């Protein structure tokens, strides 16, 4: 069955919605030159802006969104139980692109190849480990913008948190796989493919109860990667998050070798739980890590992971730590 709709402008209750920041309809202001880069931003520039729901209205969570600089009106949104959706007009209309084409419904990660936006990879199974989660069946790939899909492996990973693609080579792909939620499994960690998913190599692995949950690539150098491993185990009635095997890692040779950063100055002491990591697009030496720990919070490094400082311990950004990445 084909499903398509035009989303309402009001913010709905659906947590999966993509939000767009736009001026309020009633707001009218004179055209003013933009502020000088590096200067303080006048609050009048954003004071009249409001968030509105642009869809897709799925009624559930979404952990996976992606777009393309080459196609600024084209975006993908993956639902934790509703497949992958696509817009080609900036969110005005959304349509499903995986219905009846793949064998799983829970999208945990989506990535568009910068060199060719028609190439998209999706990883199945979410990593926000609530009491009820839907496992996935590995990685799917399209080369025609979602018209057709094929399964490209890692079927037993079950939960995939992130996919990264070399911006200059659509065949060089990295997957952060959390693995089985309710028991030990060897199919977890960071995987690398250099042939577009035809084969995979496990390049970072700790043990059968510790999986990879996040992965960030330096936009200026695709050989530099940051990955986080998470010791986690749950039953339908309990969650055990964090341990000595969780950690933050860095590779400078495209994933062939890794160095653990977790013990570097400034980061909290173990045990550590879930870690979200991201390299700044404007400064490759600046890296952010959202860390679940007794002294957790948002940490920043200005020397590419060598040392860290706590920049926020606000509970609003780290409560229910199994959610954010």
Domain architecture of the chain: domains with CATH? 101-317 (2.130.10.10)
Predicted confidence at residue 59, as pLDDT, reads 63
Closest CA to 151 of 108, 191, 196, 194: 196
Q: What share of the chain is helix, strand, coil (3-state, %, to 5)?
A: 5, 40, 60
Q: 63: part of which helix (H) or strand (E)?
A: none
User: Does the bond joining 302 to the residue before it have cis omega, within 30 degrees of 0?
Assistant: no
> Residue 250's beta-bridge partner residues?
226, 259
> Residue 110's beta-bridge partner residues?
122
- Phi/psi at 316 (5° precision): -65, -25
Question: Would the CA dihedral through 267, 190, 314, 306 be positive or negative?
Answer: positive
Predicted confidence at residue 132, as pLDDT, reads 79
Predicted confidence at residue 39, as pLDDT, reads 55
pLDDT in tens, 31-72: 444 444 455 778 888 888 888 888 887 767 788 999 999 999
Residues constituting the chain: 325
Predicted confidence at residue 325, as pLDDT, reads 57
User: Does the bond joining 56 to the residue before it have cis omega, within 30 degrees of 0?
Assistant: yes
- What 3-state class would DSSP assign to 172? strand
> Which stretches of the chain score pLDDT less than 70?
1-39, 59, 323-325
Please return the burial class of 212, using the count of CB atoms within 10 Å of its CB with bins 0-12, 13-18 and 19+. buried
What are the Cα distances from residue 214, in Å, to 12, 85, 312? Answer: 28, 22, 20
């Amino acid at each position: 069955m084909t499903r398509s709709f035009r989303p309402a402008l009001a913010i709905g209750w659906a947590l999966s919605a993509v939000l767009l920041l736009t001026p309020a309809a009633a707001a009218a202001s004179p055209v003013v030159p933009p502020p000088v880069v590096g200067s303080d931003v006048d609050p009048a520039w954003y004071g009249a802006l409001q968030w509105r729901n642009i869809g897709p209205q799925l009624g559930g969570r979404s952990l996976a969104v992606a777009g393309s600089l080459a196609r600024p009106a084209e975006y993908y949104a993956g639902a934790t139980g509703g497949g992958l959706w696509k817009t080609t007009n900036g969110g005005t209309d959304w349509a499903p692109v995986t219905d009846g084409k793949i064998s799983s419904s829970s999208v945990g990660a989506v990535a568009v190849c910068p060199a060719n936006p028609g190439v998209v990879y999706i990883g199945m199974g979410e990593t926000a480990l609530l009491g009820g989660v839907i496992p996935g069946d590995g990685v799917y790939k399209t080369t025609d913008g979602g018209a057709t899909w094929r399964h490209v492996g890692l079927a037993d990973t079950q939960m995939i948190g992130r996919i990264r693609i070399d911006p200059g080579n659509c065949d060089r792909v990295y997957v952060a796989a959390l693995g089985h939620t309710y028991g030990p499994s060897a199919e977890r960690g960071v995987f690398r493919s250099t042939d577009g998913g035809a084969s995979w190599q496990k390049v970072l692995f700790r043990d059968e109860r510790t999986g990879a949950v996040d992965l960030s690539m330096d936009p200026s150098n695709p050989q530099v990667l940051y990955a986080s491993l998470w010791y986690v185990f749950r039953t339908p009635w309990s969650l055990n998050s964090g341990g000595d095997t969780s950690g933050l890692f860095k590779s400078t040779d495209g994933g062939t070798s890794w160095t653990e950063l977790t013990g570097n100055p400034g980061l909290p002491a173990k045990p550590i739980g879930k870690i979200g990591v991201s390299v700044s697009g404007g400064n490759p030496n600046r890296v952010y890590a959202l860390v679940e720990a007794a002294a957790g919070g948002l940490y920043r490094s200005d020397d590419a992971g060598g040392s860290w400082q706590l920049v926020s311990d606000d509970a609003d950004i780290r409560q229910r730590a199994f959610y954010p990445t």
